[in-house]
Amino acid sequence: MEPDIVRMRLEGDVAGLAEVMRSGPSPHYSWAVDLLRDIGGREAADALFDCVNRPDAYPKRLHLHALSALAELRDRRAVPRILRTARRGEPDNWARAARMYEDLGAVGGPEAVRELIHRLGDPKPPRMVVEAVARLRPPEAVPALLAALWALLPGDEMHTVETLGAMRDPRTAPALLYLAASEGSSPRLRKGAVLALAQLPEDCWPPPAGTDAEFMLTRALCDPDAATARPAAALLARTNYGMEILRSHVHGAAPRIPAEDRTPACAAVTVCAYIQEHPARFGEDYRDIPNLIALLGEQSVPMVRRAAASALGAVGGSAATEALLAALGDDRTVDTVARALSALPEPPVRELLAALADDSPAARPQRRGSAIALGLLECADAAPLLLDALGPENPRDVRSAAADALGDLRHEPAAARLASLAGDNEEPGTLRARAVHALGRIGAPESLRVLLAAARDPSEPVRVQAVRALGGFPVREAVAALGEIASTDANRDVARGAVRALGRMGAPAVHVLAAMASRFRPDVGEELVTALAECAGAEAVSGLAVLATSPETADVRVSATETLVARHSPDCVAPLASILSADPGYYPRDTALRGLAALDTEEADAHVLTYCRTKGLASEEVRAALRTIADRRR
């Protein structure tokens, strides 16, 4: 008869588990070690130490497992045994060697640290040694880590670089700065070095280095990968000298600078992005605004012009406002410039209204940009001018911008004009799609009929916008139309948009979403899970249960199960339990166990305990579920 180690764990029966270790069947004696580790405390540690101290009295090699468990309990008695193994030479088994160093990292203490530092001096320090040091982060390991870094170059150094960052020790800075500045560093290594430097405390910056730390970061600032360049910019901004370097990279990106001497465009974009995020640090220096304005000209590449416009919008001021208004006619950057104008602390509403009213051919780009900005500002005074701009005599891009702006204003009197435009098949599909989008933003009840028709329009852009707009009309006709479209529309974007719209409706649409789970369409599976997650009640749970257990829904089983767990509701007990008993195949049983254990009901606990007794405790996830219940019952 198999021992009931589940009961022993629940009751904290250390003596019973110790007996299973000595004489229980396989694999129960190994599970008993794990359960004693989970229980913890002196009595459990003594039982594990007895196995370590008298290995011949226990099943073969069980003492190694017990030694690791003792180390995880941070019991100092484990250290001499681990060190004895280490000093005899690494075990032939790679996994056992890795476990040995993990144990040292778990138990810690001066002796463990000394051994790990000693191993860092090997010609090629093993990765698991570096990981053990990272877990302990002892300051005395910094010199050895720095030496190991050079031994591991090139190719195996990343874990050491990451560990150096985790140490947050100024002594690591010179080596990390060298890696960030070296032409020979790979992009991945340079990024790792910069991210490690970013973890250093601000009060020790700039760190001591043979060359100015700021100068050594300039190569990273010019890296085309924003994940490298942006942290470098933030580090530079810590000092006045670094701020000067940032300013010089904006100044040096101007088109008047010879191409061979010009700041790389990506560096200018990085600095502009930093200015946009920290505008209070810029603008008072007399050079800041002129340097940014110099980047707005057509000689600069579009991405630099856009970045400079966004920075100017954040910094503000009269000079920035005038420059942005002048740049509103740039077709390549008009959307960004319009957003920048709308973000100004004092947006130039009067000038934008005047530009929108100017219907001369030369003013077309400014009219479009003004419409976008006024819509973002939700300027009600612009509504009459925007309605005029909808007329067929205006350029298409101006009409589209006007439609979007009227939607931003939620200007209900515009609904009739927009409905007429949306239903005019003589107009371009993209323009009609903008009108449909605006109708959805306005949400006038009389627009429902137009939107229902647009949802079946031959133009795919029109249908995409129509289904999105219908999400704001939680009525029976819209629900039925969206359900049909989600199931039958050949365009995946349209079908996905319909499912998302049903999810936004919530309760009125839950029955349609639940029915879709039974007639599963794979290309909208994740959207269906997300939509059901937004709905309350038993019908939503029923739909998620189908998605989590049906043989046809393998692609969304994990996300559906996670969603059931996240609901943390007793209604989810039955579907989560059905996952535990599903036919062979991949089902997220560990996730279901975690969710059931967290519910704290007798029924849910019973399912978890039955699974533990019948399927065993081989995985950490199963033991974690048992641990949750045992801790709650203590």
Taking 60 as the threshold, does the pLDDT of residue 195 lie above it? yes
Task: Please indicate, yes or no, if residue 310 is contained in any of the structural domains.
Answer: no
**Mean predicted confidence (pLDDT) in 244-248:** 96
Task: Please indicate, yes or no, if residue 172 is contained in any of the structural domains.
Answer: no
Contacts of 466 (CB under 8 A, 6+ apart): 436, 440, 451, 452, 454, 455, 457
Backbone Cα Rg of the chain: 33
Taking 60 as the threshold, does the pLDDT of residue 170 lie above it? yes
Q: What is the pLDDT confidence band of residue 193, given thresholds at 50, 70 and 90? A: very high
329 backbone dihedrals φ, ψ, rounded to 5°: -90, 5
**Mean predicted confidence (pLDDT) in 279-301:** 92
Helical residues (DSSP H) of 344-459, grouped into ranges: 349-357, 364-376, 383-389, 396-409, 415-422, 429-442, 448-454
Residue 6 near residue 34 (C-beta atoms within 8 A) = no
**Mean predicted confidence (pLDDT) in 346-372:** 92
Amino acid at 488: T
- pLDDT recorded at residue 372: 96
- Report the candidate in 482, 480, 462, 459 with the shortest Cα–Cα distance to residue 471: 482
Burial group, residue 608, by CB count within 10 angstroms (0-12, 13-18, 19+): buried
- pLDDT recorded at residue 582: 82
Task: Please indicate, yes or no, if residue 524 is contained in any of the structural domains.
Answer: yes
Helical residues (DSSP H) of 54-141, grouped into ranges: 62-72, 78-87, 94-107, 110-120, 127-136
Q: For 45-56, write each residue's pLDDT tens digit.
A: 999 999 999 999
153 backbone dihedrals φ, ψ, rounded to 5°: -70, 145
Burial group, residue 248, by CB count within 10 angstroms (0-12, 13-18, 19+): middle
Residue 307: alpha-carbon gap to chain centroid: 24
Task: Please indicate, yes or no, if residue 34 is contained in any of the structural domains.
Answer: no
Q: What is the pLDDT confidence band of residue 320, given thresholds at 50, 70 and 90? A: very high
- pLDDT recorded at residue 97: 76
Residue 507 near residue 536 (C-beta atoms within 8 A) = yes
Amino acid at 462: V
Q: For 502-541, write each residue's pLDDT tens digit.
A: 999 999 999 999 999 999 999 999 999 999 999 999 999 9
C-beta neighbour count of 303 within 10 angstroms: 16
Domain housing 561: 471-585
Task: Please indicate, yes or no, if residue 491 is contained in any of the structural domains.
Answer: yes
- pLDDT recorded at residue 157: 84
* Range with the poorest average pLDDT among 116-125, 171-180, 352-361: 116-125
Taking 90 as the threshold, does the pLDDT of residue 431 lie above it? yes
Taking 80 as the threshold, does the pLDDT of residue 65 lie above it? yes
Q: Which residue is associated with the tokens 């101006």?
A: 398
Taking 90 as the threshold, does the pLDDT of residue 89 lie above it? no
- pLDDT recorded at residue 503: 96
Residue 244 near residue 272 (C-beta atoms within 8 A) = no
- pLDDT recorded at residue 443: 95
- pLDDT recorded at residue 92: 58
Task: Please indicate, yes or no, if residue 591 is contained in any of the structural domains.
Answer: no
**pTM of the full structure:** 0.85
- pLDDT recorded at residue 586: 78
- pLDDT recorded at residue 634: 81
Q: Is 229 helix (H, G, I), strand (E, B) or coil?
A: helix
Residue 546 near residue 561 (C-beta atoms within 8 A) = no
- pLDDT recorded at residue 101: 87
What is the H or E stretch that residue 200 is in?
none
- pLDDT recorded at residue 210: 64
Amino acid at 582: A
Residue 384 near residue 357 (C-beta atoms within 8 A) = no
Q: Distance between CA atoms of 458 and 392, rounded to whole angstroms?
A: 22
Q: Is 452 helix (H, G, I), strand (E, B) or coil?
A: helix
- pLDDT recorded at residue 285: 87
Q: For 105-136, write each residue's pLDDT tens digit.
A: 999 999 999 989 988 888 888 888 888 898 99
Residue 426's alpha-carbon distances to 149, 429, 430, 464, 610, in angstroms, are 68, 9, 12, 19, 67
- Nearest-10 crossing angle of helices 187-198, 158-167: 10
Contacts of 94 (CB under 8 A, 6+ apart): none
User: Which token pair is 559?
Assistant: 């996300």
User: Which token pair is 324?
Assistant: 């942005």
Amino acid at 221: L
Cis peptide before 445 (omega within 30 of 0): no
Q: Distance between CA atoms of 282 and 312, rounded to whole angstroms?
A: 10
Taking 90 as the threshold, does the pLDDT of residue 86 lie above it? no
Residue 306's alpha-carbon distances to 172, 334, 339, in angstroms, are 37, 9, 10
Residue 274 near residue 230 (C-beta atoms within 8 A) = yes
- Report the candidate in 407, 396, 344, 322 with the shortest Cα–Cα distance to residue 372: 407
Task: Please indicate, yes or no, if residue 532 is contained in any of the structural domains.
Answer: yes
Task: Please indicate, yes or no, if residue 305 is contained in any of the structural domains.
Answer: no
**Mean predicted confidence (pLDDT) in 248-254:** 95
Biggest CA pair distance of the chain: 97
- pLDDT recorded at residue 189: 94
Burial group, residue 351, by CB count within 10 angstroms (0-12, 13-18, 19+): middle
Amino acid at 295: L
How many domains would you assign to the chain? 1
Mean pLDDT of the chain: 93
Taking 70 as the threshold, does the pLDDT of residue 88 lie above it? no
Taking 60 as the threshold, does the pLDDT of residue 276 lie above it? yes
